[in-house]
Amino acid sequence: MLLIINLQIMTHNQITFVYQSGRIERLKSDETFPLEFFYGFDYLKNYFKTNEIIEFYKDEVKNILYYISNLLIKISGLPFLFHKIMSIENYKIFKNSNVIVFSNQRVAFSSLPILIFMNLSRRNKSLVFVMGLFNVIHKNKLKNFLRKFFINIFIKNIDHLVFLSKGEYEFVIKNYSNVSNKFTFLPFSVDTKFWKYQKTKKNKNQILFIGNDGKRDYDFVIKLARKLKEFNFVFITNKIPINSNIPQNVELQSGSWHENTLSDKEIKKIYCESYLTIIPLKESLQPSGQSVALQSMSCGTPVMITKTQGFWEIENFKDEKNIFFVSENNIDLWEAKINNFFKLYKNDKNLVKNSIDTIHKNYSMLKFNSKIEKLLF
């Protein structure tokens, strides 16, 4: 049966993956890198005769598409960036593709005019990974109306919307029940072969904060480091300027996955050298901090995170068993939790084992790729 399925898949000519940036550069390099941010590319490409990768254009060309994009962003708040992706060359790639995979809603919304045009003939199948698109409410009623209008068009022209947060998935199932057959929950997974535990000498009382997305609480983490003077913090982010009055116990490093500022190997080394990774978050349905939490846990470094609505799969995580939850971004709460960690759990081998086991059992790339394959074929 497996042989028959694979032969059927091989009859397809082309699969195309659409990303923002950072993938082509890694594929061309000799560096070893994790596979999770390729969203199944390494697995699915083997079932097609050819594969293509499209990334956002780096140069900001202010053409008519640029101004249309800015107008649509202003009136809807949605990530339309037509000038970053739309071209005759990319249209031809889309047109020749049997399957198109969008790594997030930003690249998918930016490709929407091409999808609408191609769907007149329904030649291909499309899939997009969704993170924090729904349950966004603006004060402006017209903006909310237009946002919902464009989201409905978006849903109509995409075959599969894959949600990385269970909270957001449950929200859309309830509020968009008429098209619920298009929705799938699939938690983000990490490359456990790369993010692997290594017995490494830990740096004295080192706490790691890493990330660049909009739901991290950057102001709070600076205040927290200022309060906890007895600990050494490493911040890896582009969202905190060097001149931000950083406390002396903080080592600030510029870091961006898309720009490959620090290599994946360097980031893995910092995970392994740290005692704890902290992820203070703003309240949201978006599964923020997901990749960092899973990577850190897979490396055997415990994680402390704000417990938000967007936490991806709460039933697999138990406070002080395989993760540490903090109910809100309150300095006293975080201070007490961190002090308790270093007093009771700093060298807890069971905690490390539980963290690693949780990732291998529930968030491996093997399971992730298998589920994507079932959706597309």
What CA–CA distances, in Å, run from 54 to 78, 100, 142, 158, 374?
21, 10, 33, 18, 23
Query: Does 48 have pLDDT greater than 60?
Result: yes
pLDDT of amino acid 309: 86
Q: 113, exposed or middle or buried, with CB in 10 Å at 0-12, 13-18, 19+?
A: middle
Q: Give the CATH number, domain containing residue 282.
A: 3.40.50.2000
pLDDT digit string (tens) for 130-147? 998 987 888 899 999 999
Percent of all residues in the chain with a pLDDT value above 70, rounded to a whole number: 95
pLDDT of amino acid 286: 80
pLDDT of amino acid 136: 81
- Cβ proximity of 303 and 240 under 8 Å: no
Q: Kindly report the average pLDDT of the chain as a whole number.
A: 92
What CA–CA distances, in Å, run from 266 to 57, 236, 368?
27, 11, 25
Query: Does 265 have pLDDT greater than 50?
Result: yes
pLDDT of amino acid 214: 86
Cα of 357 vs its chain's centroid, Å:
21
Percent of all residues in the chain with a pLDDT value above 90, rounded to a whole number: 79
pLDDT of amino acid 4: 36
What is the mean predicted confidence (pLDDT) over 53-67?
A: 92
Q: What torsion, rounded to 10 degrees, do the Cα atoms 302, 213, 156, 166 define? A: 20
Q: Could you tell me if 34 and 99 lie in one domain?
A: yes
> Could you list the residue range(s) of the whole structural domain that residue 286 is in?
206-362
pLDDT digit string (tens) for 147-173? 999 999 999 999 999 999 888 899 999
Q: Could you tell me if 168 and 247 lie in one domain?
A: no
pLDDT of amino acid 360: 96
pTM of the model: 0.90
Which residue type does 46 have? N
* Domain total in the chain: 2
pLDDT of amino acid 171: 92
Query: Does 232 have pLDDT greater than 50?
Result: yes
**Last residue in a domain, options 138, 156, 186:** 186
pLDDT digit string (tens) for 295-327? 999 999 999 999 998 888 899 999 999 999 999
What is the mean predicted confidence (pLDDT) over 90-99?
A: 94
Q: Could you tell me if 166 and 23 lie in one domain?
A: yes
In a domain, 89, yes or no: yes
pLDDT of amino acid 7: 40
Distance CA(205)–CA(234), nearest Å, equals 11
Q: Could you tell me if 160 and 225 lie in one domain?
A: no
Distance CA(38)–CA(36), nearest Å, equals 5
